[in-house]
């Protein structure tokens, strides 16, 4: 029976539309899943969406929708994007599906029956954005993950006896393969060694979640609900024989792939829940770093996302897949830029693999009527031919070894070193000159050179297939090799290209991208983000409420008859700041660049107040600043906060100020 392989992505929150940060994890998993299938494993690849919790409830409210409507829309967008990108997930789990809800309740009951869940009271800080209980934090303290101000919650809750699992978890981490990379493993070990407190696993102050069995006033904590998807999707807790069979077959997961910010949930809470339930543990949790854009983590709240669709429209899915896996060292943070994307695309794909394909196949068409020629065994052999065969065998070995360690960029480097070697081999052996000669020795040499080159091309394409499924499938067809998905990767070796194979017709696999491609993509993203409109708006008014739909008090209020709760207001951190420096932003009539001391730090703020205030009149003046606004770029300058002003009929802002003396850093409530 075939070996099984079960791989998962995190399930994505539906409060943000998909961007290439999400695509990064999904692409990495898809690549691993595809390779496993080519290696003959019975593979199950799961992704989906995380749809419950207070964050989603609030986002839906701000958008004037029911949470279910809201979740349906965004979940649909994720699903459609994965389909468009050719992602080969075997299932797509949504946490609002009945199958999931019932099975989560089963898991909860099982853990409760085993005595690991009890009722108690929780008073403490909570970050809604990360749906995280922040142990030891005081009111007003920021969330350790996102920096937003935490909210105080006081609730009667169900608690999970996490403290009972400290030793078992530490034993588990002794296995170096359980958490990768090493840095993340060390962080988790340090965290668990420092002591584990029981964890609240229900909420009762809102209702958008799965009811606690037998106590429907409470909903199950969204992370318990979400993590459980990894078992519910494959049948845990179902009474159907088929589902039970699937669970027995695929669980435990071979890999949970995640971003580094959710390591603690996956490496501490999830294994503890499973241990409590008496279920097997996943074999590995692999955490990658963040995709940065304009130096910050790409995220909706920072407003610096790049959508996958833009890249798909201009360069195609394979280009995005290759770039993300080749450019970024898996496990570390990496920057995304359109320049780097296009540069790599042209260098490695157009001039590298694509050019090699057209060159070799065109010559086989020209000199051998489109049939793979027979290399001579006796005459016209050169050590260079054997060297290519060796390089190819080494590439196969190295690619596999790196890939198994999730070192995608090094694996691809190994494949591309073969491409570079064949490029050199062709230049040195000049098949086009051999083709001009008609003596037997030259013909034999030409046959050997082209066979050797074509065989190396076949191997490079086979290795790259899980990373670039479309382009390599086309290369395969052009080489007359049929359906690449039928290739048994485990047997891939030098010398399998059959002599006399009839080539298909040759066409470029990667069209060249010029500078306009970069501009096009940038424009598409600018339009999407509405940065142009945003800048004008920011210049009109220094008030924060217009810039972050779904995030701010004003937009929440707009859908609720103008009323917001005190909690909503508390999310806006208004502080007294003092202007230390002010200057005009070049080429802008409306913008000033300010440096504002807010007590704990000096912030750069770009404000649309230049028409009302000369820069020199502002220095030393106290202002009110929205301190927890996500940073954004205006005219290429990062603005970290916003100055509050009254917006008057004539459009000129008037800065908020105080009659009494106030200390810098004081919070407005
Ligand atoms: N819903 C939780 C996960 C629950 S899993 C049981 C969640 N969702 S999320 O929508 O915020 O997605 C987080 C995941 O998306 C990250 O862990 C990572 O896989 C991916 N990424 C989102 N933005 C990213 C970057 N800027 N860079 C890299 N990965 C990113 O957390």
Alpha-carbon distances of 359 from 351, 423, 500, 508, rounded to whole Å:
11, 10, 18, 10
Closest-CA residue, ligand 1 atom 24, reads 21
End-to-end Cα separation, the chain, in angstroms: 65
| Nearest atom of ligand 1 to the alpha carbon of 266 | 6
When pLDDT is averaged across residues 199-206 and rounded to a whole number, the result is 94
Instruction: Tell me the C-alpha distance between 177 and 256, whole Å.
Output: 12
Query: How close is the Cα of 502 to the center of ligand 1, in Å?
Result: 46
Instruction: Tell me the C-alpha distance between 124 and 591, whole Å.
Output: 41
Check residue 528 and give its pLDDT.
82
Closest-CA residue, ligand 1 atom 9, reads 12
Three-state SS at 203:
strand
Mutate to test the pocket of ligand 1, among 9, 10, 290, 330 (most ligand atoms within 8 A of CB): 10
Give residue-wise pLDDT tens across range 587-616: 888 889 999 989 888 899 999 888 888 898
Q: Beta-carbon neighbour count of residue 458 at 10 Å?
A: 24
Which residues in 20-32 are b (16+ Cβ under 10 Å) and which e?
Answer: bbbbbbbbbbbbb
Widest Cα–Cα separation across the chain:
100
Q: Whose CA is closest to 470, among 485, 454, 486? A: 485
Instruction: Tell me the C-alpha distance between 398 and 212, whole Å.
Output: 50
Give residue-wise pLDDT tens across range 625-649: 999 888 888 888 888 899 998 876 6
Query: How close is the Cα of 264 to the center of ligand 1, in Å?
Result: 13
Check residue 376 and give its pLDDT.
75
Cα angle for residues 280, 281, 284 (degrees, 5° grid): 145
Give residue-wise pLDDT tens across range 408-440: 999 999 999 999 999 999 999 999 999 999 999
Question: Are the beta carbons of 664 and 599 closer than 8 angstroms?
Answer: yes
Q: Whose CA is closest to 435, among 416, 418, 449, 456? A: 449
Question: Are the beta carbons of 200 and 221 closer than 8 angstroms?
Answer: yes
Predicted TM-score of the model (pTM): 0.81
Q: Which residues form ligand 1's pocket by a CB distance below 6 Å?
A: 10-13, 21-22, 24-25, 50, 226-227, 229, 258-259, 262, 290-291, 297-299
Mutate to test the pocket of ligand 1, among 8, 19, 20, 21 (most ligand atoms within 8 A of CB): 21
When pLDDT is averaged across residues 100-107 and rounded to a whole number, the result is 98
87: confidence class by pLDDT, cuts 50, 70, 90: very high
Q: Which residue has the higher pLDDT, 553 or 157?
A: 157
In a 10 Å sphere around its CB, with 0-12 CB exposed, 13-18 middle and 19+ buried, how is residue 309 labelled? Answer: buried
What are the structure tokens assigned to 302, written together? Answer: 């920072």
Check residue 527 and give its pLDDT.
84
| DSSP-assigned states of every residue in 93-112 | EETTSHHHHHHHHHHHHHHH
Question: Are the beta carbons of 589 and 576 closer than 8 angstroms?
Answer: no
657: confidence class by pLDDT, cuts 50, 70, 90: confident
Give residue-wise pLDDT tens across range 9-25: 999 999 999 999 999 99
Check residue 562 and give its pLDDT.
54
pLDDT at 200 over 80: yes
Phi, psi angles (nearest 5°) of residue 158:
-90, 140
Question: Are the beta carbons of 645 and 543 closer than 8 angstroms?
Answer: yes
| Nearest atom of ligand 1 to the alpha carbon of 297 | 26
Mean pLDDT of all residues belonging to the chain: 91
């Amino acid at each position: 029976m075939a070996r099984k392989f079960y791989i998962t992505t995190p399930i994505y929150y539906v409060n943000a539309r998909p961007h290439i940060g999400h695509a990064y994890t999904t692409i990495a998993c898809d690549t691993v899943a595809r390779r496993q299938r080519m290696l003959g494993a019975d593979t199950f690849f799961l992704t989906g969406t995380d749809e419950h919790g207070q964050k989603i409830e609030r986002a839906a409210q701000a958008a004037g929708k029911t949470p279910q409507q809201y979740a349906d829309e965004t979940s649909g967008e994720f699903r459609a994007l994965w389909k468009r990108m050719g992602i080969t997930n075997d299932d797509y789990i949504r946490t609002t599906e009945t199958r999931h809800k019932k099975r989560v309740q089963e898991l909860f009951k099982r853990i409760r029956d085993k005595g690991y869940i009890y009722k108690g009271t929780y008073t403490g800080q909570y970050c809604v954005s990360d749906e995280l209980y922040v142990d030891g934090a005081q009111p007003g303290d920021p969330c350790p993950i996102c920096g937003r101000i935490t909210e105080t919650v006081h609730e009667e809750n169900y608690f999970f006896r996490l403290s009972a699992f400290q030793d078992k978890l530490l034993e588990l981490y002794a296995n170096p393969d359980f958490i990768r990379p090493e840095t993340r493993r060390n962080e988790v070990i340090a965290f668990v060694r420092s002591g584990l407190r029981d964890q609240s696993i229900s909420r009762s102050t809102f209702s958008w979640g799965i009811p606690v069995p037998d106590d429907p006033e409470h909903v199950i904590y969204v992370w318990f609900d979400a993590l459980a998807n990894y078992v519910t999707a494959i049948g845990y807790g179902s009474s159907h024989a088929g589902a039970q069979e699937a669970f027995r077959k695929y669980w435990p997961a071979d890999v949970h792939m995640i971003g580094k910010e959710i390591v603690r949930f996956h490496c501490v809470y999830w294994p503890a829940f499973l241990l409590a339930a008496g279920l097997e543990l996943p074999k590995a949790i692999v955490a990658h770093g963040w995709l940065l854009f304009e130096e910050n983590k790409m995220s909706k709240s920072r407003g610096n996302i790049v959508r996958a669709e833009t890249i798909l429209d201009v360069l195609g899915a394979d280009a995005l897949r290759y770039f993300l896996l080749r450019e970024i060292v898996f496990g570390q943070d990496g920057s995304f830029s359109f320049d780097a994307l296009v540069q790599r695309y042209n260098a490695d794909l157009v001039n590298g693999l694509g050019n090699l394909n057209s060159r070799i196949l065109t010559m086989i068409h020209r000199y051998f009527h489109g049939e793979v020629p027979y290399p001579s065994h006796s005459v016209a052999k050169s050590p260079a031919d054997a060297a290519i065969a060796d390089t190819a065998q080494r590439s196969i070995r190295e690619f596999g070894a790196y890939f198994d360690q999730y070192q995608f960029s090094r694996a691809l480097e190994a494949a591309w070193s073969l491409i570079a070697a064949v490029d050199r081999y062709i230049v040195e052996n000049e098949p086009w000159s051999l083709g001009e000669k008609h003596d037997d020795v030259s013909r034999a040499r030409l046959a050997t050179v082209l066979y050797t080159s074509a065989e190396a091309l076949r191997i490079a394409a086979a290795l790259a297939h899980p990373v670039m499924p479309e382009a390599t499938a086309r290369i395969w067809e052009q080489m007359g090799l049929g359906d690449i998905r039928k290739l048994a990767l485990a047997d891939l070796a030098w010398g399998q290209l059959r002599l006399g194979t009839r080539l298909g017709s040759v066409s470029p696999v990667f069209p060249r991208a010029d500078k306009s491609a970069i501009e096009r993509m940038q424009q598409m993203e600018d339009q999407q983000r509405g940065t142009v409109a945003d800048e004008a708006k920011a210049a009109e008014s220094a008030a924060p409420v217009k810039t972050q739909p779904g995030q701010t008090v004003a937009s929440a209020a707009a859908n609720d008859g103008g009323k917001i709760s005190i909690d909503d207001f508390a999310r806006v951190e208004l502080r007294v700041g003092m202007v230390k420096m002010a200057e005009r932003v070049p080429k802008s009539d409306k913008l000033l660049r300010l440096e504002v001391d807010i007590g704990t730090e000096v912030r750069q703020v770009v404000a649309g107040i230049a028409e009302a205030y000369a820069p020199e009149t502002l220095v030393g003046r106290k202002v009110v600043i929205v301190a927890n606004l996500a940073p954004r770029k205006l005219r290429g300058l990062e603005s970290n906060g916003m100055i509050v002003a009254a917006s008057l009929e004539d459009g000129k802002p008037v800065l908020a100020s105080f009659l009494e003396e106030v200390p810098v850093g004081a919070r407005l409530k």
